[in-house]
Amino acid sequence: MQRIGIFYNPKLFKSIQKLKERIAFLQKNEYIISLLENQKRKGLQGISYVKGFTKENIDLLIVLGGDGTILLASKLVLKENIPLLGFNHGKLGFLSECEKHEFEPVFEQIRKGAYIVEEKMILECTSLSDTKMKYYALNDCVLYKGTYPKMLTFKILDDNEYLFDIEADGIIVSTPTGSTGYNISAGGSIVFPHTDVLLLTPINPHNQFIKPFIFSAEKKLSIQYIKGNEKIYVAIDGENVDTMKKYEQIAIEKSSYTSKFIKLHDKTFAKIVREKFID
């Protein structure tokens, strides 16, 4: 892994100094560094600039930022089979493997091969309206009402078999990775990373006996919007990407793509949960 791409959150790196220090350390250790052309900064030396990260130009993508930055980065290399390594410069940083102060010691572990490449499930979300748009989510797909004051009604189907209707402010369908995101805020369960399931969590359901559902990841869920405002919003990993009108559907299933993440031997999921949510 000598060819390294860097993707950073410019809002957290308004000063170039910290970025220069990271790059200087890597170059000193004979790594070849690439940045995206749209993240070019004056004062950086010995950098290659690329239009996109591919397996032809990098072996590893380092992400400097918070969870939102990692979600963006995962889309950049989803189809390239390139692993990511996140350093948290944000707040919670649950998706980041490392904190920002661990940069240099972590690369000592990388050089020694003290890591594995962990694959994380991706959701494939396909609009069943005329557009047939397709989206990929590392965390979740959320259907929600925006500022509309009343509840929405959704029809839930499993492989085209009708299951039930849900009245709620919205619906979250998440991966195990996304279980610690919006899902947990809405009352969903924390799921260990390698559990092969889809989570469906209503947002403020009208019937308080309606609880989150867990489906096998081999299932294909379809959600039809049947009652409420003229249109609702579709958010993928926290970004609005589409809208849905009444009686339109979206199909959500496990993708054949996975996101690859560098996992260090001393960073277990249980330890991260304790550090981020309990300790």
Each residue's pLDDT tens digit, 49-64: 999 999 999 999 999 9
DSSP-derived letter for residue 33 is E
Q: Which residues contact 121 (CB under 8 A, 6 or more apart)?
A: 175, 176, 177, 196, 217, 254, 255, 258
pLDDT of residue 49: 96
Asked whether residue 259 carries a pLDDT value surpassing 70, the answer given is yes
- Look up 59 and say whether it is catalytic: no
d(CA 86, CA 65) in angstroms, rounded, equals: 8
What is the distance, to the nearest Å, from the Cα of residue 238 to the centroid of all Cα atoms in its chain?
9
Q: What is the mean pLDDT of the chain?
A: 93
Q: What is the DSSP string of 223-243?
A: EEEEESSSEEEEEETTEEEEE
Instruction: Give pLDDT, residue 6.
Output: 98
- 171-195 pLDDT tens trace: 999 999 999 999 999 999 999 988 9
Pick from 13-17, 83-87, 91-95 the range whose average pLDDT is largest: 83-87
What is the end-to-end Cα distance of the chain in Å, rounded? 34
**Closest to 94 (Cα-Cα) out of 61, 62, 70:** 70
Q: Which domains does the chain have, with CATH numbers?
A: 3-113 (3.40.50.10330), 122-257 (2.60.200.30)
Encoded tokens for 274: 């304790």
Which strand (E) or helix (H) includes residue 140? strand 140-144
What pLDDT score was predicted for residue 238?
95
Using the predicted structure, report yes or no on whether residue 140 has a pLDDT greater than 70: yes
Q: Is the pLDDT of residue 19 over 90?
A: yes
Cα–Cα distance measured from residue 13 to residue 66, given in angstroms and rounded to the nearest whole number: 12
Q: Tell me the mean pLDDT in the region 134-147.
A: 96
d(CA 74, CA 258): 10
Residue with token string 């369960």? 189
| pLDDT (tens digit per residue) in 199-242 | 999 999 998 888 999 999 999 999 999 999 999 999 999 999 99
Task: Specify the pLDDT at position 279.
Answer: 62
With 0-12 / 13-18 / 19 or more C-beta atoms within 10 angstroms meaning exposed / middle / buried, residue 68 is middle
In the prediction, which pLDDT does 204 show?
95
**Options 67, 140, 169, 237, the catalytic residue:** 67
Q: How far apart are CA 228 and CA 246, in angstroms?
A: 8
**pLDDT score recorded for residue 208:** 80
